[in-house]
Structure 1
């Protein structure tokens, strides 16, 4: 059976940021966005220019986001007030971005975020990070670093200090997602500079190797020099383990198309042909997409109906412009939704065996929905690590651009409510059986979640 190693896939930022499409609330009209070019990061902005942008951001958040229906809370108002104080003197657009980002982060919604464009001239450090439960490690050997090195500090700051700083500038609902995005951003010059981790175009790194601390100076380099490349493995595939009567369906992205539907059908044909008693849905790299993949999967499961996501919609002037809503500005709540399962025509493919779901901190947005739907309908056992998203959260973003700096930002206008609200409040979907990946697992090419799954099957 093919190894299914978590955490080793490079993340594509756009997939992480724009990832939640729910079938229940799709509306026919979609806005065509004609964004202008963003201001260069080193451009000096005046107080008046920054005030114009900050006003636009604050007013948009207040008008659009479901969380601000009754205005900003005390903590959010404090962050906003602080932001206005910070812009009393001129600063670069790159510095101003982080002032704006702290305002965005005060909503604690991973789908509401502000984006800064990067260019080939932007520099990074070659630090392949993997952030596990017990700390940060080097995931790949380089000229200076060895795979498995434990990162003690970056720029003189410890893991705990870095995490506390990143929580202020990474939109997230839990620490898992801060770590997912943090490992990417801690290599970028803009973030390193903001966190004051750069010294004379170098970043001092201390790692623990063979029970000794080793100090390394990593230079800022052009991105092309890092040699990092994306993993091009298929986003949807499956394995059949006849010995353990186990089929593992792996879905890295929620893409609802013919490739998905054909692969899904082939999977259940093999499950039926081999009389497989256990199946697992591997969502450990799934950062979201189209939630229709869930309903399509359910067509092969022996249930007549199931609870699905519902939620609240804040219909603002901006939402009407971008989504084509009609009527008055309003806030609408929808009742609990029960889906009548449209099972596949071939009854031989209907599966009624045991179901397991594998999750990690990368399980996010519609990927998180998939796991939550299985949990809240008592259809499967969740194995792995807590997800990077709250089960009930916000999404379906509207897109905007600041008038002066040109920074693009996205604001949720819906509050998604999980199928079984009795399981709330939760800041993450916590597995029934928690199994964390360790650095030893990675070094020895072990898959602890699948190994645990096989052990459970064997002991039944």
Structure 2
């Protein structure tokens, strides 16, 4: 017997199916929600466990010895300068302070203080930037000054953070982070004074709202600030592209020093524009963290500009051998610098820099400055023109702290300026000014 299904039954079956599907979707969504929530809680819990991770005295002293061995057997500082009095004091203090049980975070602080004694911004231990203050301020003329949304000075000078004097915060920053020149000191103060971890180390109570005391010279007031997620607060423009400003001027943004398709496209465009008679090339390396210096030399070659050569003292070590396969793990080799630069007389070259122009990007500015190949516009870099570099990564066995150490000292093309710690710009541009606009003003003035 075949059962007949009327319209009413069809509607009922359809409704039941809709309900069942809805229940299934809800079940999947609810369980996914629980899983996501559980993952977030686990991540939060893991972060707290990681920060409060207690190392035994044996584990701490073992990592201390491992780190000292890595640094002293790898860094060219010890070939060039030996164990200076400053280094000896830092090392002795490091050994003394780490001869006991402590948390991973406490050990990281002591490691940072030890490494900063070498004054090499390439050699460091990793800091987890979890929270930073939501504020725009800069250390200018020996004062931490709040800027407005257009980067103009407000006249509000920071004196305290939750009652702790700003000089105490600066002292902590000096202890924890290396500074190669006066630009680096100011940049360190501007950046690290926002870090929650650094503020906590300085004695600032960070479990409550942050009150910043400011003065304009006549009166004081408190400004309340909040912490932001650190991962989202230091985003930089790492793009590589070019654009034609007008018939005679091309602008190149080199946001990072890598050899890739974007760089290849820029080089092709530059070579084409050169044939069509461009007269001005602007290369912008603001906020460029460095990378492969060949990216910079290729840009110069594309406009028929020949830079000089950096000299080097490269140290061999077990760490370097492991990464690069060198035949030896001790000793060093050296190469002299050369300033045999050749400009393109038909091109006016402008390079835009700022405090964060670093490593290989700083090489570009140094090549141009030493070889008199063009004009440097903007603000000087926190990286010395002759500096350490070529980093090797390492991880400490017990604390699992990760860091990097230089194994090369690079010397600028112009040997007569090797002792200079800052590559000053030819044209200084204030924070509130646009350096590209300034470059275009200079170009326009030459046309008159």
> What TM-score do you get using the length of structure 2 for normalisation?
0.78
Equivalent of residue 247 in structure 1, options 244, 247, 250: 250
CA deviation after TM superposition for structure 1 residue 212, in Å: 5.3
CA deviation after TM superposition for structure 1 residue 117, in Å: 4.2
SS in 2 for 1:254: coil
Give the aligned partner of residue 456 of structure 1.
442
Equivalent of residue 105 in structure 1, options 88, 100, 116: 116
SS in 1 for 2:372: coil
Give the aligned partner of residue 288 of structure 2.
286
Give the aligned partner of residue 324 of structure 1.
325
Decide whether the 8 Å contact of 2:170 with 2:193 is kept in 1: no
CA deviation after TM superposition for structure 1 residue 234, in Å: 6.2
Equivalent of residue 203 in structure 1, options 204, 207, 210: 210
Question: Counterparts of 2:48 and 2:325 in 1: how far apart (Å)?
Answer: 27
SS in 2 for 1:290: coil
Decide whether the 8 Å contact of 1:133 with 1:436 is kept in 2: no
Question: Are 2:420 and 1:426 equivalent residues in the alignment?
Answer: yes
Equivalent of residue 190 in structure 1, options 190, 197, 201: 197
Give the aligned partner of residue 298 of structure 1.
300
SS in 1 for 2:173: helix
SS in 2 for 1:391: coil
Question: Counterparts of 1:125 and 1:355 in 2: how far apart (Å)?
Answer: 38
Give the aligned partner of residue 372 of structure 2.
378
Give the aligned partner of residue 5 of structure 1.
none
Question: Counterparts of 1:400 and 1:326 in 2: how far apart (Å)?
Answer: 20
Range moving further from structure 2, 51-60 or 164-173: 164-173
CA deviation after TM superposition for structure 1 residue 158, in Å: 5.5
Render the CA deviation track for 1:215-250: whole Å, top value 9, x for unaligned: 13445x5739x985846x56123343338x433212
- Write out aligned runs for 1:325-364 (5 A): 325-327=326-328, 329-336=330-337, 352-364=346-358
SS in 2 for 1:281: strand
Change (3 A) 1:88 1:294: closer
Render the CA deviation track for 1:343-378: whole Å, top value 9, x for unaligned: 9xxxxxx88221111111111101100111111211
SS in 2 for 1:40: helix
Range moving further from structure 2, 193-202 or 399-408: 193-202
Question: Counterparts of 1:321 and 1:101 in 2: how far apart (Å)?
Answer: 25
Equivalent of residue 59 in structure 1, options 56, 64, 69: 69
Question: Counterparts of 1:318 and 1:368 in 2: how far apart (Å)?
Answer: 26
Question: Counterparts of 2:168 and 2:271 in 1: how far apart (Å)?
Answer: 47
Give the aligned partner of residue 87 of structure 1.
98
CA deviation after TM superposition for structure 1 residue 419, in Å: 1.5
Equivalent of residue 56 in structure 2, options 39, 46, 61: 46
Question: Counterparts of 1:314 and 1:181 in 2: how far apart (Å)?
Answer: 28
SS in 1 for 2:63: helix
Range moving further from structure 2, 172-181 or 44-53: 172-181
Question: Counterparts of 1:238 and 1:84 in 2: how far apart (Å)?
Answer: 51
Render the CA deviation track for 1:113-143: whole Å, top value 9, x for unaligned: 011446xxx5x254233425344455677xx
CA deviation after TM superposition for structure 1 residue 315, in Å: 0.7
Greater percentage in helix: 2
Equivalent of residue 407 in structure 2, options 386, 398, 413: 413
Change (3 A) 1:241 1:200: closer
Decide whether the 8 Å contact of 2:138 with 2:147 is kept in 1: no
- Mark the runs of 5 or more structure 1 residues left unpaired by the alignment: 1-36, 344-349
Question: Are 2:386 and 1:395 equivalent residues in the alignment?
Answer: no
Question: Counterparts of 1:98 and 1:171 in 2: how far apart (Å)?
Answer: 13
The answer to which structure, 1 or 2, has the higher relative contact order (CA under 8 A, 6+ apart) is 1
Decide whether the 8 Å contact of 1:288 with 1:368 is kept in 2: yes
Question: Counterparts of 1:168 and 1:105 in 2: how far apart (Å)?
Answer: 7
Decide whether the 8 Å contact of 2:139 with 2:190 is kept in 1: no
Give the aligned partner of residue 26 of structure 2.
none
Decide whether the 8 Å contact of 2:320 with 2:329 is kept in 1: no
Give the aligned partner of residue 312 of structure 1.
313
Question: Counterparts of 1:197 and 1:131 in 2: how far apart (Å)?
Answer: 19
Question: Counterparts of 1:161 and 1:365 in 2: how far apart (Å)?
Answer: 30
CA deviation after TM superposition for structure 1 residue 339, in Å: 8.4
Range moving further from structure 2, 294-303 or 362-371: 294-303
How many matched pairs? 395
- Mark the runs of 5 or more structure 2 residues left unpaired by the alignment: 1-46
Give the aligned partner of residue 436 of structure 1.
430
Question: Counterparts of 2:402 and 2:104 in 1: how far apart (Å)?
Answer: 13
Decide whether the 8 Å contact of 1:94 with 1:190 is kept in 2: no
Decide whether the 8 Å contact of 1:360 with 1:384 is kept in 2: yes
Question: Are 2:279 and 1:277 equivalent residues in the alignment?
Answer: yes
Change (3 A) 1:45 1:129: farther
> What TM-score do you get using the length of structure 1 for normalisation?
0.76
Change (3 A) 1:426 1:159: farther
SS in 2 for 1:358: strand
Range moving further from structure 2, 147-156 or 423-432: 147-156
